[in-house]
Amino acid sequence: MALSKTASQTDVSIHSTFASRYVRTSLPRFRMPEESIPKEAAYQIINDELMLDGNPRLNLASFVTTWMEPECDKLIMAAANKNYVDMDEYPVTTELQNRCVNMIAHLFNAPLGESEAAVGVGTVGSSEAIMLAGLAFKRKWQNKRKAEGKPFDKPNIVTGANVQVCWEKFARYFEVELKEVKLRDGYYVMDPEKAVELVDENTICVAAILGSTLNGEFEDVKKLNELLTKKNQETGWDTPIHVDAASGGFIAPFLYPELEWDFRLPLVKSINVSGHKYGLVYAGIGWCIWRSKEDLPDELIFHINYLGADQPTFTLNFSKGSSQVIAQYYQLIRLGYEGYKNIMENCRENATVLKQGLERTGRFDIVSKDDGVPLVAFSLKDRSRHDEFEVSDFLRRFGWIVPAYTMPPDAQHITVLRVVIREDFSRTLAERLVYDIEKVLHELDALPPKQLLQNGGATTTAAAAMLAAKKPSAEDLQRSVTEHWRKFVLAKKTNGVC
């Protein structure tokens, strides 16, 4: 009698992933697993977990590009295995970076001769760009002070309190004091007059922001330039300006070409811009452009020599992928001036649609201006029953990610919600968002108001009596604990509202 052998140990490669044993084992969290698993299983498992991430295109918190054309995706994947820093091995990639630098420098009206090469570098983002620019200013200032025989151990930088967290990083890591111009109610950017007042002999530069992260406003760089020129004449300190154009750098030249904010102003010595914001490239690329060679101290530059060719480099990162640089060049030649202009105009249109929709609900104040980065920052007119954080939470249920945050000092009592309009946020989506916000408002209206504990402990005697009388339920306790921790963490300057 022939006994048929049951197929107990079938070849694992024929099992479909969800039939295999791999989806039954728990994932490695702390230790590397002992054995390998098939690549299909690895792909599927990770892909499935990632489904629980937010949807990048519905992430209205971020300025960073979330959609690119398929042709560009092809180029990006093909370049994934090129290490950007191998300049000798990949000379064309290096040249594409140089071309991007030149194009952006010309876009910012850098005072260059006909065939003069621009001074600039591609970075991983505006953070690195700002650190490099800051480092250049710090070194120039130190050299100047050393030559004058004056102390150079207490450099500072003047900027607005609306500054993005990377400036604080720069200040903390590179041991530069940060002197912030406080905001005030209704004025959410750096006041040029106050800024110039704060400038002293230890100031390495004044940083202006073109496109504040909080409400998208452009700071008045021209006025700052005038006031600072006057002060420089009086004091002889020669304090320069850096423009953080992370968002605005790819908007102003196309929507507001007559606005003078770039190298047309003589005190502006360096500008940074994020390629991955309105440069329309995926996350991971920024640019820093200097006015001229003199503004970049040579001692900071590393000369990498490849069999005769000198390639100067000035970056914090070394090895990194080439994909984003190539993608940036793709966008620059694909779109050209008219393409970028069309896209920015579309964004502005859609921002207007959203703004009008919100105004029509009658429940919001619009905090952002019309001119600036295409975003809409709005706050509730009536905060007594519910606040912006709740609106943000409820919108999450529809899939929208709309952040709510408080303004920095001295405007901490203002909370705003912010929606960033990116290239891929069409009118349909704008209208849908308004519709969903109205739904959220309906829902909130039906709910009881938030706890009195919200108001930082400032309760009236009547309320206090009420509190004392009421025994805190488990839910109250949980809420109060969450609130306490939220306030504790908020107290440390945060937010990657970026």
> Residue 327 Cβ, how far from other proteins at the closest point, in Å?
9
Q: Residue from 5, 29, 442, 470 that binds other proteins (CB under 8 A)?
A: 29
Stretch that binds other proteins, among 203-211, 255-263, 294-302, 439-447 (CB under 8 A): 294-302
Site string for other proteins, 163-182 (x = CB under 8 A): --xx-xx--xxx--------
d(CA 183, CA 472): 38
Residue (72 or 158) nearer to other proteins, CB: 72
| C-alpha pair distances (Å), 177 with each of 139, 167, 268, 320, 368 | 15, 10, 21, 31, 29
Near other proteins in 262-281, by CB under 8 A: 274, 276
466 lies in the binding site for other proteins (CB under 8 A): no
Residue (224 or 440) nearer to other proteins, CB: 440
24 lies in the binding site for other proteins (CB under 8 A): no
216 contacts 368 by C-beta, under 8 angstroms: yes
> Residue 39 Cβ, how far from other proteins at the closest point, in Å?
4
Residue (203 or 392) nearer to other proteins, CB: 392
> Residue 416 Cβ, how far from other proteins at the closest point, in Å?
15
Stretch that binds other proteins, among 225-233, 264-272, 300-308, 428-436 (CB under 8 A): 300-308
> Residue 454 Cβ, how far from other proteins at the closest point, in Å?
14
412 residue type, one letter = Q
Q: Output phi, psi for 60, to 5 deg.
A: -85, 10
Residue (88 or 185) nearer to other proteins, CB: 88
Token pair for 267: 């005190």
Near other proteins in 335-354, by CB under 8 A: 335-340
> Residue 218 Cβ, how far from other proteins at the closest point, in Å?
21
Stretch that binds other proteins, among 125-133, 217-225, 355-363, 461-469 (CB under 8 A): 125-133
Stretch that binds other proteins, among 219-227, 297-305, 344-352, 451-459 (CB under 8 A): 297-305
141 contacts 152 by C-beta, under 8 angstroms: yes
Stretch that binds other proteins, among 99-107, 233-241, 350-358, 461-469 (CB under 8 A): 99-107
Residue appearing with tokens 């100031």: 203
218 residue type, one letter = F
223 contacts 268 by C-beta, under 8 angstroms: no
Degrees to nearest 5, angle at CA 347 with 321 and 68: 30
Site string for other proteins, 66-85 (x = CB under 8 A): xxxx-xxxxxxxxxxxxxxx
Q: Output phi, psi for 215, to 5 deg.
A: -135, 15
Residue (413 or 471) nearer to other proteins, CB: 413
Near other proteins in 188-247, by CB under 8 A: none
482 lies in the binding site for other proteins (CB under 8 A): yes
Near other proteins in 407-446, by CB under 8 A: none
Residue appearing with tokens 């010595």: 269
376 contacts 354 by C-beta, under 8 angstroms: yes
> Residue 204 Cβ, how far from other proteins at the closest point, in Å?
14
Q: What is the DSSP letter of 371?
A: S
Query: Whose CA is closest to 134, among 101, 176, 165, 163?
Result: 176
> Residue 411 Cβ, how far from other proteins at the closest point, in Å?
18
421 contacts 350 by C-beta, under 8 angstroms: yes
Residue (37 or 198) nearer to other proteins, CB: 37
Residue (333 or 464) nearer to other proteins, CB: 333
Query: Whose CA is closest to 254, among 312, 224, 194, 211?
Result: 211
Residue appearing with tokens 């349909």: 428
Q: Output phi, psi for 477, to 5 deg.
A: -60, -45
Instruction: Please tell me the count of residues contacting other proteins according to CB under 8 A.
Output: 128
Q: Residue from 126, 203, 239, 247 that binds other proteins (CB under 8 A)?
A: 126
With a CB cutoff of 8 Å and minimum separation 6, the contacts of 339 are none
330 lies in the binding site for other proteins (CB under 8 A): yes
d(CA 67, CA 78): 18
309 contacts 91 by C-beta, under 8 angstroms: no
43 lies in the binding site for other proteins (CB under 8 A): yes
218 contacts 261 by C-beta, under 8 angstroms: yes
